[in-house]
Amino acid sequence: MTISPSPHFVIFPFMSQGHTIPLLYLSRILTDRSITVTIITTPANYSAIRVAIKNNSINIIDIPFPQNVVDVPPGIELTDNLPSMSSFIRFVEATEQLKPRFEELVSSLQPAVSCIISDGFLMWTQDSADKLKIPRLCFYGANIFSMTMCNVMAQFKPHANVGSNDEPFLVPGFGKMKLTVNDFEPPFSELDPKGPALDFLMKQQKAMSRSHGLVVNSFYELEANFNEYWDRNYGPKAWLVGPFCVAKPSAINYSDIPIKVMEKPTWIQWLDKKLETNDSVVYVSFGTQAEASKEQIHEVAIGLEKSNISFIWVMKPKQLQYIGSGFEDRVKARGKLVVEWVDQMEILKHESVCGFLSHCGWNSMLESMCAGVPVLAMPLMAEQHLNARIVVEEIGMGLRLWARGKVARGLVGQEEVAKVVLELMEGEGGRKARERVTEVRKGAYGAMKDGGSSSRTLDSLIDHVTG
């Protein structure tokens, strides 16, 4: 009798934190199901992945990133570190030079590779998968709501007759749901798109349509009607198998560790003190990618100061420069600024944290949901405006910050920041959002446990690619 080897999944994340982190969680989930997992990355990303994965049974292999890429400084192998997002497409295109080495590697791995899960931006991996006759699944990091809405825009152009980018229009096929042009980025916001952004998108969509489906970091109960609409009208099939952050090991229990060996990070110590004095804290972060303007950072800072609520703000060095001197001293008693990489989930799960002022990156939204923390939605770029719509209007687990004139884009003023922060912490809107996020949290954990919707979908996905 021959014993068939265990399935072997190759995971190839795109080189940005928001796209890599969820696939690391997914690798843990697959390993827990006795699947062999190999993660492919590039040399500059290797150590961070090794540290984050916390699991020696997962193989990590790096292949060299191309040198001499126009507008991409040497050694930059993560889009978060690009000097400007204007070099993003060039960065993505450069990854195609990894193709020969990727194919050589995948064909040599043992046991033989049963499935490739690679990022949608690494569109050339579809050609490799076809050549090597290995099923490929595509991952974008986005929810199925935003992907469906973008397709609906391209197909029906429901914005054809609006008077302005802020005038709401009905979304065909979705009852009373309304969106605005400003909820979308080009090319979806345009009526007659042309140029490099469209070409880039078309290439990705062609590759995705040839794949065995989309792996989606979400769960059926959260976006049932969008999931069904997508599978019925668009495709390839969306496999909703998340939220992956549930797979993260729980936050370190510092009381189990001798103090000299492991000190709590200063921000966790600060949150502990806030808990002792019964102070509720808002966590603020605009993620790894978004470039908020100097004016916007200033308005947020002053709004937080005016709200009189305690806050912890994890920011990039550039954002600290924008805030300038004086602010930290003025808010010293109740505000903490952190310019380091933090374990965001650990912060969100801290008992003193009662709200998350966020740019609405989808990972952050799922992490907030799984920690049971309501969101203050302040989207900045990419599909974040759509995430804000689903989180606030469809799911109801947060409140929205609007730009002046109650519009989706533009400067969010300090009065708005102060008002909405206070409403979340002390008002009726905050109470409702808190109640709702508690229910959604239960749904998220329920989906991931044995017999839950995401767990069953993952079983079918594994059968599909290995059967």
Site for ligand UDP, rule CB under 6 A: 17-18, 21, 287-290, 314, 341-344, 361-364, 367
Nearest CB to ligand UDP, comparing residues 306 and 349: 349
Whole-number minimum distance, CB 17 to ligand UDP, in Å? 5
Whole-number minimum distance, CB 365 to ligand UDP, in Å? 7
Using only C-alpha atoms, the chain has a radius of gyration, in whole angstroms, of: 22
Euclidean distance between CA atoms 113 and 465, whole angstroms: 11
CA angle at residue 40 from 37 to 41, to 5 degrees? Answer: 145
Nearest CB to ligand UDP, comparing residues 17 and 453: 17
Whole-number minimum distance, CB 288 to ligand UDP, in Å? 3
Euclidean distance between CA atoms 369 and 437, whole angstroms: 6
Nearest CB to ligand UDP, comparing residues 288 and 352: 288
Nearest CB to ligand UDP, comparing residues 366 and 424: 366
Would you call 214 helix, strand, or coil by DSSP? Answer: strand
Nearest CB to ligand UDP, comparing residues 102 and 244: 244
How many Cβ atoms sit within 10 Å of the Cβ of residue 260?
6
Whole-number minimum distance, CB 415 to ligand UDP, in Å? 26
Nearest CB to ligand UDP, comparing residues 21 and 447: 21
Whole-number minimum distance, CB 386 to ligand UDP, in Å? 13
Check the CA dihedral 145-148-154-159 and report its sign: negative
Would you call 65 helix, strand, or coil by DSSP? Answer: coil
Are 101 and 64 in contact, with CB atoms under 8 Å apart? yes
Are 329 and 338 in contact, with CB atoms under 8 Å apart? no
- As a 3-state breakdown, the chain gives helix, strand, coil percent values, each rounded to 5, of 50, 15, 40
Nearest CB to ligand UDP, comparing residues 134 and 375: 375
Whole-number minimum distance, CB 369 to ligand UDP, in Å? 12
Nearest CB to ligand UDP, comparing residues 320 and 342: 342
Q: Where are the beta strands (DSSP E) in 83-223?
A: 115-119, 136-139, 169-170, 178-179, 214-216
Residue 196's contacts (CB-CB under 8 Å, 6 or more residues apart) are 89
Nearest CB to ligand UDP, comparing residues 246 and 290: 290
Are 346 and 268 in contact, with CB atoms under 8 Å apart? yes
How many Cβ atoms sit within 10 Å of the Cβ of residue 321?
12
Whole-number minimum distance, CB 337 to ligand UDP, in Å? 13
Whole-number minimum distance, CB 25 to ligand UDP, in Å? 9
Closest CA relative to residue 458, chosen from 232, 121, 216, 221: 216
Question: Helical H runs in 196-287?
Answer: 196-209, 224-233, 266-276
Q: Where are the beta strands (DSSP E) in 234-339?
A: 238-240, 281-285, 310-314, 335-338
Nearest CB to ligand UDP, comparing residues 149 and 290: 290
Residue 390 is given by DSSP the state I
Whole-number minimum distance, CB 267 to ligand UDP, in Å? 10
Amino acid at 181: V
Whole-number minimum distance, CB 6 to ligand UDP, in Å? 28
Distances (CA, A) of 74 to 17, 18, 65, 70, 392: 19, 22, 10, 10, 41
